[in-house]
Chain A
């Protein structure tokens, strides 16, 4: 159906114009709870058509959710008219050539078709497992299908499904969190997540204020996800690199040797469509290989500027901010002897905590903003649980900190003291992107102040 729609729009454009059509259908359903009851339960089903065309050296883009014949013809007419009126586009890099997909996208029918009751049941389990603590969060399911056709002959389609659950438990103003995403509803257990969030909240009672300064840290997966997201947006963005606004230097040993970072939509932990907004098939791209910056994310335009090939990272409307990895995975270390998880430590981080003489366990980072994109100095706050680690044991809950830290420096050669053996896939709050990561033990993190009022 979607590919037929894309081809039909292409037909309306007619000959002599380079054109590409992306048809995306999303069915998003989200059950949101707060104060331990469901207070919002929402769903929508949307089909959007995006047309980009290049005519007489000029480029324009249009989109619509009006998929009647009249609506689609209007889209084509508007976009053609716009292209004629614009200044020339000398940087046009042409259409993606026909190329086969490496896969159709990770897919699970039960997840895609989940009813409101299925999400409500997960919420019920989360709330019950919190044992009377106040809870809040969401359970969502997503079905995303897409089709792409261009006048160069590329015609492809794929689909993916996602379920994400993210919740906190609260006790006397202290929050504990549990968060995950996966392609299969059957892999979500609201009770496990609720119990973990509650354990963290309970263990935060009586948190003390510690002086700001540099501390060794163990970052659990939700905190590490923030690093990976900022690396993707500012570091491995081909456009930022072309303009010398990125720290990335391909071939340079910029990270600790323990760091290997890939973008892998079609891998076991990947979620997303199997092609990008320009119809380039997705493939596994190694961004950092054992500490060495190996590749950047490119769309067709940034690749042409860099003398490279598109890596399949074009995003809709991404002309202004460039190409982005959307399924980043930090590779875990090979599994070894695991320490026993405590009440507050995610099992994936327990072995790392055991090795810390004095440092902090950080669950989550929040409201992070970049002070300088090139050095990637970021400020933000801890959230959802911080604890002092002494001689490998969690000893004291700590109140939230503000930090100001260069992210590349935090993962620089010699700075990574440990990488966890288990990964967690985490949803992004805003877009259709995900990251998969283990916990990290880092030699130093720059906390610049307390967050208390």
Chain B
């Protein structure tokens, strides 16, 4: 039996048991990660994960059942159990849900990959990480870390509407960090980002990062931070580096425009959203410079795919246009409830999890400036770079972020280094204060986005560039 045959059997079993719609995903994933610490390989993990997840719709409720057994009998049993589980929901029934139409049929897609990351010899990868962490130690790091991760995922999707889609998505990335330990605190500098940079690309992504060129600098900066002056407290002009902007977009825009949150489906855990659907198309989210897109078609970005996990083909759409809120991340059921005519943003983190609304590539379109121009145009302010901590309220309004490093800006010049920088604000107020935006866009990958119960870890992409904001509160301390 092919994987399509297994999925088809599961869907048919779900229909036979009474489901009015069913789909099934067979997934096979290989994962590899390696970490090194202080000149030695710390951990190598290689895993293989395969199974089938069946989704059945009965009334307004989804039932889902997953098993790692890809036999015909197990698939049929899973289909039946998914329907039975959905039917139990009738004890606390809700409105019947429909699914917004999408094109059904056969499809196939693979992410671009020049160098298969799983084929690169482990010894080469280990030698790289050992060398990098030795270099960081030699330049002052108390704890030097380097790591990479690789996901190689194949999916076969079948639905009762006639979908028959296979995809092969290869993702990888990595990064380094240096930690310096003082008497009462710890300072850390990372490259190229907090927890590394990732994409739907091959090992060429890691090679392009040129980690070796930055190892010594991270160690030196971490050590220098231990004696740098504290970031002052107050309101100021704030310039954020591109990697921190990616996190700002992820937390204060990406999650806020998830339709399941807006509809209250995530209220108990992930939270809701400050956005009200009645304001879609009219709400003033940010300044005119703010143009946010939802675009899973960006080659090589971490949130890219050919079809989402409901079989909806990847498509680009606007989320915020010239500061006005115009679009959401939606699934087929949530779109129907909201009266929208599009879906395309539903994924699961594996065969054993129910697909849910997820960010794809949610990013900011470029502006006309460069980082240097923004600094030169600032009389008095702070430039913060590389995320260190992130926290935002359950409506995605009030945030406080910390970055690894900052520099003061005086009279258009970047000045002394500052330690323990933080900034805080309210989402729409903050975004409306954005008055300069760079053209230096990078698609940053976030491989650790948590959502859902049971918990799922999502991979999202965020095109972002440095930007400037006015009147931001900085330097919050405990």
Contacts and interface: CB of A to CB of B under 8 A. Distances in A.
Interface of A: 28-47, 59-67, 71, 74-75, 78-79, 82, 85-87, 89-91, 115-117, 119-121, 123-124, 127, 134, 136-138, 140, 166-168, 170, 175, 243-245, 317, 319-320, 366-375, 377-381, 383, 400, 402, 404-406, 429-430, 446, 448-453
Which of A31, A33, A44, A405 has most chain B Cβ within 10 Å?
Answer: A44
A124 B90 CA distance: 10
Contacts, number: 279
Interface in B108-155: 121-123, 126-127, 130, 142-143, 145, 147
A370 B420 CA distance: 12
Given A41-B88, A319-B42, A453-B274, A34 B268 contact: yes
Contact of A34 (B45, B63, B264): B264
A42 B126 contact: no
Contact of B478 (A61, A404, A449): A404
A375 B184 CA distance: 6
Contacts of B45: 61-63, 317
A301 to B, nearest CB: 9
Contacts of A34: 264-268
A38 B94 contact: yes
Interface residues of B, number: 88
A38 B92 CA distance: 6
Given A41-B64, A245-B181, A451-B393, 15 more contacts: A29-B85, A32-B453, A38-B91, A40-B354, A44-B65, A62-B46, A63-B45, A123-B91, A140-B453, A317-B45, A366-B393, A371-B388, A377-B477, A379-B478, A404-B477
A370 B389 contact: yes
Given A319-B42, A367-B392, A400-B393, A42 B264 contact: no
A41 B478 contact: no
B26 interface: no
B404 to A, nearest CB: 11
Given A43-B85, A65-B48, A404-B400, A89 B91 contact: no
Contact of A320 (B35, B91, B398): B35
B35 A42 contact: no
B397 A451 contact: yes
Given A60-B46, A452-B398, A33 B92 contact: yes
B111 to A, nearest CB: 23
Interface stretch (B201-209, B309-317, B423-431, B434-442): B423-431
Given A61-B43, A372-B420, A448 B48 contact: no
18 contacts: A40-B61, A41-B86, A85-B121, A120-B89, A121-B91, A127-B92, A140-B453, A166-B268, A168-B267, A317-B43, A319-B42, A319-B43, A369-B402, A379-B389, A402-B400, A429-B453, A448-B476, A452-B397
Contacts of A30: 453-454
Interface of B: 35, 37, 40-51, 53, 60-68, 81, 84-86, 88-89, 91-95, 121-123, 126-127, 130, 142-143, 145, 147, 179, 181, 184-186, 263-269, 274, 352-354, 388-395, 397-398, 400, 402, 420, 422, 424, 426-429, 450, 453-455, 473, 476-478
A31 B89 contact: yes
Contact of B354 (A37, A42, A166, A453): A42
